[in-house]
Amino acid sequence: MKKIDLVIVDDEKNVLNSLRRLFRSETFGLFLTTDHTEAMEVLAQNPVKVVMSDQKMTKITGIEFLRGVKDKYPETVNILFTGYADLKMATEAINKGEVYKFINKPWNDEELKSAVREALNKYDLEEKNRSLTKNVKKQNKKLKKLYEAQKDFTLMVSHELRTPLAAMRMAVDFVMKESAGKINVKQKDLLGKASNSAGRLNRIIDDILEFSRLEFDVIHIKVKPNRIDKLIEEVVLSQEPVARGKGIDIKTEPDAGIGKVSFDRDRIAQVLNNLIHNAIKFTTTGGVTIKCVVDKSAGKVIVSVIDTGIGIHKENFPKLFKKFKRFSNVSKNREKGTGVGLAICKAIIDQHGGKIWAESKFGSGSSFHFSLAYDR
Ligand SMILES: Nc1ncnc2c1ncn2[C@@H]1O[C@H](COP(=O)(O)OP(=O)(O)O)[C@@H](O)[C@H]1O
Ligand SMILES: [Mg+2]
């Protein structure tokens, strides 16, 4: 059976006959009836696109019938046949969305044909939109599920890894300290390596957990008015021994006019620690300078950590703040990094609504800057 695209209802048989003749050469599926209840049955069984009805019928008016159609099948496009006497009612039905268009009786063949074609096109277009919207909604739902699954997985896994790892480190240290009996030098050396690797694994897990918590918005920053210059002094003081141990300088150059800036103290301390730690790590001669400049007109403070170290290749800049990216192999006997430090810095600065960026000349040093909104 051919599918039905267009249903026409008119209680005059001869009207239906001439309409059947008019649409004889059309390719769409056509169903004509004098009985509106039969039309409803056809609608129930077919995805009908367009319903056309006469207004003046003996059992029901066209508008009443089409209103019922619209109620049950809101997607169909309805056309009403009417005389001039019903113009007001027809316009009302159009305004209510029950009828798409009306056609005056007696009709003009070409006009009627083009009206039907237009209505069919309108249906097809709307149907396409509907399926596109449905697809987008489905995709969004899928993405959301995927995101939630990844979030749960990452947070759970990194959390679950810590306990057995801690037990393992404890056991290794216990044996290494000879608390479980004497061991020889070779054994001690091997356990030392195991202990170092376990320590490194622990740092990686901590970094992943920290980064995931930031990225998945599990932790929220708590901003309060704070003295950024005071915080810089504090962090520098704590890192001074490391710099001195390497024979490099570390100094601060704070701007004189710094008032209070709103930020999360612990988080920004973490950023400063990461940046200064890197600056010391990747510098062998010269030193590290920490600057803080206030740009009152832009409403910002810019903190800079400047070093005279090995620098960063231009090609590595786009990857610099992505996690697990490490470009320089400088640490021979120092702890190896995890490549998550800068990603954490960026997540923290992002949460503050600030910016973080770097400048470098390969071979002659790097500077890392971040901005924070200034309280005016
Ligand atoms: N001050 C710096 N000078 C030179 N290279 C740097 C500096 N800071 C970061 N980098 C490069 O960026 C990489 C990523 O840094 P980071 O995310 O802190 O990871 P990690 O310190 O664990 O290696 C480093 O491995 C290094 O290659
Ligand atoms: Mg680092």
Per residue in 276-306, pLDDT (tens digit) is 999 999 999 999 999 999 888 888 999 999 9
- Strand 77-82 relative to strand 101-104, pairing: parallel
Does ligand 1 come within 6 angstroms of the Cβ of 317?
no
pLDDT at position 1 is 63
Tokens of 29: 């599926």
Q: What is the atom index within ligand 1 of the atom nearest the CA of 339?
A: 19
Task: Show the CA angle centred on residue 108, arms to residues 107 and 109, nearest 5°.
Answer: 110
- Per the DSSP assignment, residues forming a β-bridge with 77 are 50
Whole-number Å distance, alpha carbon 36 to ligand 1 midpoint, is: 77
What is the C-alpha to C-alpha distance for residues 100 and 109, in angstroms, rounded to an integer?
Answer: 19
Residue with tokens 């050396």: 189
What is the C-alpha to C-alpha distance for residues 33 and 11, in angstroms, rounded to an integer?
Answer: 8
Of the candidates 97, 199, 214, the residue with the CA atom closest to the CA atom of residue 155: 214
Does ligand 1 come within 6 angstroms of the Cβ of 282?
yes
Tokens of 132: 């596109």
Whole-number Å distance, alpha carbon 326 to ligand 1 midpoint, is: 6
Of the candidates 309, 317, 310, 301, the residue with the CA atom closest to the CA atom of residue 358: 317
Q: Is the peptide bond before 106 cis (omega within 30 degrees of 0)?
A: yes
Of the candidates 179, 178, 196, the residue with the CA atom closest to the CA atom of residue 187: 178
DSSP string, 302-347: EEEEEE-SS---GGGGGGTTSTT-------SSSPPP-S-HHHHHHH
Break the chain into its structural domains and give their ranges: 6-107, 147-215, 224-373
- pLDDT < 70 stretches in the chain: 1, 84, 256, 329-335, 375-376
Quick count: other Cβ atoms within 10 Å of Cβ 363? 10
What is the C-alpha to C-alpha distance for residues 220 and 214, in angstroms, rounded to an integer?
Answer: 8
Residues 330/282, Cβ–Cβ less than 8 Å: yes
Whole-number Å distance, alpha carbon 275 to ligand 1 midpoint, is: 8
- Strand 77-82 relative to strand 356-360, pairing: unpaired
Backbone angles phi, psi at 354, to 5 degrees: -100, -170
Quick count: other Cβ atoms within 10 Å of Cβ 229? 20
Whole-number Å distance, alpha carbon 321 to ligand 1 midpoint, is: 9
CATH architecture of 224-373: 2-Layer Sandwich (3.30)
Q: Which of 280, 326, 361, 362 maximizes ligand 1 atoms within 8 Å of its Cβ, making it the mutation to test the pocket?
A: 326
pLDDT at position 273 is 96
**In the chain, what is the greatest distance between 2 CA atoms, to the nearest angstrom?**
111
pLDDT at position 73 is 96
What is the C-alpha to C-alpha distance for residues 106 and 291, in angstroms, rounded to an integer?
Answer: 86
**224-373: same fold as 6-107?**
no
H/E run at residue 356: strand 356-360
Sheet containing strand 101-104, edge to edge, reads 30-33, 6-9, 50-54, 77-82, 101-104
In CATH, the number for domain 147-215 is 1.10.287
Whole-number Å distance, alpha carbon 339 to ligand 2 midpoint, is: 6
What is the C-alpha to C-alpha distance for residues 151 and 156, in angstroms, rounded to an integer?
Answer: 8
What is the C-alpha to C-alpha distance for residues 149 and 143, in angstroms, rounded to an integer?
Answer: 10
Q: Length of the chain, please? A: 376
Nearest CA to ligand 1 atom 27: 327
DSSP single-letter state for residue 337: P
pTM value?
0.69
pLDDT at position 325 is 83
Nearest CA to ligand 1 atom 1: 279
What is the C-alpha to C-alpha distance for residues 114 and 257, in angstroms, rounded to an integer?
Answer: 76
Of the candidates 10, 13, 36, the residue with the CA atom closest to the CA atom of residue 112: 10
- Per the DSSP assignment, residues forming a β-bridge with 82 are 104
SS3 at position 270? helix
Residue with tokens 């006009």: 111
In CATH, the number for domain 6-107 is 3.40.50.2300
